[in-house]
Amino acid sequence: MVNTGPAYLFAGQGSQYPGMGKDLYEAFPQSRAIFDKADEVLGFSLSRICFEGQPEILKQTIISQPAILTVSIAAFEAFKSKLQAPSSRLQGGDPVFMAGLSLGEYSALIASGAFTFESGLKLVRRRAEIMDEATRRHPGTMAAVLDLDIEKVKDICLKSGAEIANINAPGQVVISGKKDAVAKASEMCVEAGAKRVIELEVSGAFHSSLMFEASAELKQALRNTPIMAPLVPVISNYTALVQSQAPEIEQNLACQLYKSVRWVESVQYMLSQGVKKFYEFGPGKVLKGLMRRIDPEAVVVNIEKKEDVLKQSNKS
């Protein structure tokens, strides 16, 4: 059966910026409750860092991951509360899928009911610590390759020792690995006709084999985290398919750490099921930009600020 409802998308790491979430906190009690809970769970004022922190602090993995997740869920809870009001109705019906880019998959799983916010936040904090520790043991980097055929990028990775980390959109592939391997691959991609190769401001080689040891540590953290069956199907970054049971969610999230993020396939799966409208929750508009490359006809509505929530809740 073809679905006609919308899908909910959640932002990944790198979308953070100073001031994010502040107007949500001030406008909606549901968002305020999320930030207050985050401060309580983490034992420090994450809200203050989101609202007033400097970019160099916000971009640290151990800060950015819980911060982006918290802002994303704060936006989701505000949106949900307004749409549940008697005078408000979501055009297109309830969501038929949820998905998130890398870190965003955790936000999607919280929104779908697979994790509570508290347990999901603790898990993401631990994930960030594990990844931070892994980057010190196995230093590396990442780079975005623009406008070069994916098969050429794969071939270059085989020759250089770099790896495919993210297949974000047609013409946008992220490579990862040891610094010398990524540098060599970047040079080869430019020679092969890439429009640009941009080294990313990240602390390590995420979604590469350098994270393999870290995935075992993450799997242990996942085993200690209660996981419920999601109320809305969530697309796995690792398989680009629906995950519906706790054991597969645990396995997929552990593999996600050192395997490629198959974002194009994930979005194409939802499109193939009849989804035409998407809501992007969290800071920035990265996923909307990627969607323009994947399917320019798909509609993406960003839910990031107070006015975004009010605009949607006023529709009937």
* 49 in any annotated domain: yes
* pLDDT reading at 89 higher than 60: no
The pLDDT value recorded for residue 93 is: 63
* 272 in any annotated domain: yes
The pLDDT value recorded for residue 243 is: 94
Q: How does pLDDT run across 173-198, given as a tens digit for each residue?
A: 999 999 999 999 999 999 999 999 99
Task: With beta carbons less than 8 A apart as the criterion, state whether 236 and 270 touch.
Answer: no
Q: Where in the sequence is the domain holding 192, given as residue range(s)?
A: 140-199
Q: Identify which has the larger pLDDT, 213 or 92.
A: 213
Continuous H helices in 84-226: 104-111, 117-137, 150-160, 179-191, 212-223
Angle made by CA atoms 162, 165, 166, in degrees to the nearest 5 = 140
Where b means 16+ CB within 10 Å and e means fewer, 135-159 reads beebebbbbbbeebeeebbeebbee
The pLDDT value recorded for residue 42 is: 97
Instruction: Verify that 44 and 153 share a domain, yes or no.
Output: no
Catalytic positions, please?
A: 102, 207
What CATH number does the domain containing 195 carry? 3.30.70.250
Instruction: Verify that 108 and 251 share a domain, yes or no.
Output: yes
Instruction: Verify that 27 and 122 share a domain, yes or no.
Output: yes
Instruction: Verify that 221 and 289 share a domain, yes or no.
Output: yes
d(CA 279, CA 300): 6
Instruction: Verify that 146 and 130 share a domain, yes or no.
Output: no
Six-digit token pair at 242? 């629906």
The pLDDT value recorded for residue 2 is: 58
Q: What's the rounded mean pLDDT across residues 73-99?
A: 77
Percent over 70 (pLDDT), the chain: 95
The pLDDT value recorded for residue 313 is: 64
Instruction: Verify that 74 and 152 share a domain, yes or no.
Output: no
Instruction: Verify that 190 and 126 share a domain, yes or no.
Output: no
Task: With beta carbons less than 8 A apart as the criterion, state whether 19 and 107 touch.
Answer: no
* 1 in any annotated domain: no
Length of the chain: 316
Instruction: Verify that 20 and 122 share a domain, yes or no.
Output: yes
Instruction: Verify that 237 and 262 share a domain, yes or no.
Output: yes
Domain end marker among 199, 218, 234: 199
Domain end marker among 155, 175, 199: 199
* 86 in any annotated domain: yes
Query: For residue 308, what are the contacts with CB-CB under 8 A and spacing of at least 6?
Result: 75, 79, 301, 302
Q: Number of structural domains, the chain?
A: 2
* 194 in any annotated domain: yes
What CATH number does the domain containing 255 carry? 3.40.366.10
Domain end marker among 199, 219, 234: 199
Q: What's the rounded mean pLDDT across residues 11-23?
A: 94
* 2 in any annotated domain: no
Q: What's the rounded mean pLDDT across residues 200-228?
A: 94
Angle made by CA atoms 126, 129, 134, in degrees to the nearest 5 = 125
Instruction: Verify that 52 and 185 share a domain, yes or no.
Output: no
**Do the bridges between strand 141-146 and strand 196-199 make them parallel or antiparallel, or are there none, so unpaired?**
antiparallel
The pLDDT value recorded for residue 92 is: 46
Instruction: Verify that 160 and 121 share a domain, yes or no.
Output: no
β strands within the chain, DSSP E:
7-10, 97-100, 141-146, 163-169, 172-177, 196-199, 234-235, 242-243, 277-281, 299-303
**Residue 171 — left, alpha, or beta (φ > 0 → left; ψ -120 to 50 → alpha)?**
left
pTM of the shown model: 0.94
Instruction: Verify that 242 and 95 share a domain, yes or no.
Output: yes
The sign of the CA dihedral 202, 208, 214, 218 is positive
* 170 in any annotated domain: yes
When mean pLDDT is compared across 29-38, 166-175, 194-203, 306-315, the lowest value belongs to 306-315
Q: How does pLDDT run across 250-276, given as a tens digit for each residue?
A: 999 999 999 999 999 999 999 999 999
d(CA 201, CA 37): 29
